Chain A
């Protein structure tokens, strides 16, 4: 900055740097600025929630079980706290608990009969466990098993705190989950996990991709061959398959584990681009000049060249954050992600799947909307960022 001031004194017009120009371009992009504001709001929320300032009491059971959102009004028959907690025993095969939905059961009856009659030998997995064996008879058996399992787990866990019974609200602003916890607070807490995992994993992946790409592109020769081989090995295994394989081997679950899984497997895209940039830049005059003044290889790579390719890295990073948030949600949904006692959007969707059958749609709406909002904003911001940093690409919205 002081350099700029100095030159200004001699009354030269100074062209602004890349970042100043990019910021100017970004500011004139209204969609980009709005999405930046939304993303920033989510990140602030994540930090506040991490510090316990917001939604710290998400696990308090403030409403009745499955408390409906206030704008709908109290549920008449589902209001009794005892009713839907452990439905599996009372739940007739394939039917929701309430009778007035019996019309729903009818169209399923034929399907049920069909499945019963025809689906015998396809499941050639004899030891597949109760879930699989039951599936051929009752399409909802595994859902019910899930409900049963989580209810049991909840019973085991819930026994410990033994909170004094408190007055429970019949409705909550945005509805309650199976145990009457506010889904809005839960969604905030869930976004803390999901966004943190996405950001941290993206940092790991970008770091690896940049270092590998820099070394491969800068040194060339056998280093390039080696990292290219490494790249083609990683990129020939479909991403989710690789993640699942790593998840299968690492038995312990945890937020750190999932960050590492995503980060260690997701660096390939960054590597390809950064390597290309380094190949281009290493022959430029300013690098030769740096060589002439005696800068070491590491200094040339990371002090001289890196700032010139950092815009590529930044765009890749924001693409990765979105991809990792999506992956985390899928992994947590499948139960390979965050541990059971940590709430994330994925685990909320997992619960919501069972709740929807009972007609309780609000947890699905809360988690789905929160995620869609963030991902839309982040993708639009990424597009705006790319346009601002690399105007040549304007209008191209990559996959």
Chain B
């Protein structure tokens, strides 16, 4: 096990270097001299020169790459070009709000999607099943933007059940007051695809021989569905869950922007709007690293769920 983890971490290094290289090429080579971008933001020529010196713009490419690599390793990306806030501080303070929305969302989504999918798979072929599938297909094709705009208008603006936007100071206040509508929207958007997918996973299992055996030996339907079928279907579910994490991030970009939640997603959009390269670079590199870590975690979880899986 330990040997496997070490080998996987070792194999990650080329990919990490690749991500660093890709971001470097994008921002230092395609992006060109930052002086053009900076000229529109900072009037102080001395400051611009300072930033250019820090990035080593006048040095050869490999020196610039080395400077960037050092930034990635030390986590010191300097200061934001727009607000002069330390990039490390931006990342540290924006992570909390993002997670306050994402973690409950992921938890609830998994719970609801699995429960509903089991129920729908159980009554497969019935009118309920077909109606739910049609609702899911249509619901999937409506843009997430429409959901956010309409929900924000109806539930927050018209009915006043939730604040229109904003963020407080206390964790519980944020979770219960400000994050609830964003979580509700996230659920509405993300349950439909998961439900459709999990239903097919359950359908694959429901027709297996072991289900018939379980029924033959007199197990209750509840036990068959929740213990036997669910356990066997959980491997593809974990894969999907892990691979949907980046997609959740995508949804959270928009949700955070609409609801003015000071999270990573809103920071990315603000940074792109302001051409704030250090912030985008830092977020891109670290989110990529986090994605690789979740992939490894997913593989380890297969092993925990299904002892037959051989890690090699």
Q: A residues near B, CB below 8 A?
A: 104, 106-108, 111, 114-115, 118-119, 121-128, 135-136, 139-140, 142, 229-230, 232-234, 236-242, 244-251, 326, 329-330, 333-336, 345-346, 349, 352-353, 356-357, 364, 368, 371-376, 379-380, 395-399
Contact = CB atoms under 8 A, between A and B. Distances in A.
Contacts of A357: 153, 157
A127 B85 CA distance: 10
B167 interface: yes
B184 interface: no
B149 A245 contact: no
Contacts, number: 184
A371 B288 CA distance: 31
Contacts of A356: 149-150, 153
Interface stretch (B208-216, B277-285, B300-308): B277-285
Contacts of B254: 330
Given A241-B268, A364-B150, A399 B193 contact: yes
B141 A376 contact: yes
B144 A364 contact: no
Given A240-B249, A329-B143, A107 B83 contact: no
Given A233-B19, A326-B143, A372-B138, A249 B169 contact: no
Contact of A237 (B145, B149, B288): B288
A135 B281 CA distance: 26
Interface stretch (B25-33, B56-64, B102-110, B218-226): B25-33
Given A139-B166, A249-B30, A399 B197 contact: yes
Contacts of A352: 149
Contacts of A142: 260
A357 B150 CA distance: 10
Contacts of B196: 397, 399
19 contacts: A104-B158, A124-B85, A125-B85, A140-B164, A230-B18, A232-B18, A242-B284, A244-B280, A248-B272, A249-B30, A329-B143, A330-B144, A335-B273, A368-B142, A368-B143, A372-B146, A380-B137, A396-B200, A399-B240
B275 interface: yes
A326 B141 CA distance: 9
Given A230-B18, A237-B291, A397-B197, A124 B240 contact: no
Given A111-B164, A229-B15, A246 B141 contact: no
A123 B153 contact: no
A380 B141 CA distance: 10
A106 B283 CA distance: 40
Contacts of A353: 149
Nearest to A375: B141
B149 A127 contact: no
A329 B145 contact: yes
B69 interface: no
Contact of B138 (A106, A115, A233, A376): A376
Interface string B177-200: 000000000000000011011001
A111 B155 CA distance: 13
A109 B124 CA distance: 49
A152 B247 CA distance: 36
A233 B197 contact: no
Interface in B127-178: 137-138, 140-146, 149-150, 153, 157-160, 163-169
A333 B145 contact: yes
Given A142-B260, A375-B140, 20 more contacts: A115-B166, A122-B167, A122-B262, A135-B166, A135-B260, A139-B260, A140-B164, A237-B288, A238-B288, A239-B246, A245-B281, A336-B272, A346-B145, A349-B146, A353-B149, A364-B150, A371-B141, A372-B141, A375-B142, A379-B141
A353 B144 CA distance: 13
A60 B281 CA distance: 43
A103 B141 CA distance: 34
Contacts of B19: 233, 236-237
Interface of B: 14-15, 18-19, 21-23, 26-27, 30-31, 82-85, 93, 137-138, 140-146, 149-150, 153, 157-160, 163-169, 193-194, 196-197, 200, 203, 240, 244, 246-247, 249-250, 253-254, 257, 260, 262, 268-273, 275, 277, 280-281, 283-284, 287-288, 291-292, 295
A88 to B, nearest CB: 18
Contact of A126 (B83, B166, B194, B257): B83
B82 A127 contact: yes
Contacts of B141: 371-376, 379
A239 B14 contact: no
A245 B165 CA distance: 26
B272 A371 contact: no
Contacts of A346: 145
B184 to A, nearest CB: 17
A242 B283 CA distance: 10
Given A238-B250, A241-B268, A247-B272, A398 B197 contact: yes
A232 B16 CA distance: 9
A387 to B, nearest CB: 13
A311 to B, nearest CB: 20
Contacts of A249: 26-27, 30-31
B15 A108 contact: no
A146 to B, nearest CB: 12
B23 A236 contact: no
A372 B246 CA distance: 23
A248 B275 contact: yes
Contacts of B271: 248
B118 to A, nearest CB: 17
A97 to B, nearest CB: 15
Given A115-B163, A247-B272, A334-B269, A236 B15 contact: yes
A37 B166 CA distance: 45
B272 to A, nearest CB: 4
Nearest to A110: B160
B138 A107 contact: no
A212 to B, nearest CB: 15
A356 B169 CA distance: 30
Contacts of A104: 157-158
A374 B138 CA distance: 10
B150 A114 contact: no
Contacts of A372: 138, 141-143, 146
A232 B22 CA distance: 12
A241 B283 contact: yes
B263 to A, nearest CB: 11
